Structure 1
């Protein structure tokens, strides 16, 4: 079963890279979207803009600010393995 990762809409390069690696990627539009995900990727432009940090999630929240798509994929893989 593939891991389910939530990605903010503006992070299209990250979404594409994770999909290529076989992750089930969903777009985060509100804090309710984070429920049930293995991991969430947020831009970090507005810290905790969507309230994801306060939402009960089973997985980590990764802030994408300053990271390449490949670096984010590496973080996701290390946190979910």
Structure 2
């Protein structure tokens, strides 16, 4: 079996530098040293919510995680 790809790694590798909501999220995640390396959608959403994320940012996180789980990489 292959090595597990972490959401944080996937997001940053796939969308870093992208001029989109996902690109903005990837930039924020890469710069946030406290962002969890691994977890569930709820873990990531709870974390960014605790950091003062907007409703729009919470939706973008949820959408990005759904793509990750779907295997859109």
TM value normalised by structure 2: 0.37
Greater strand proportion:
1
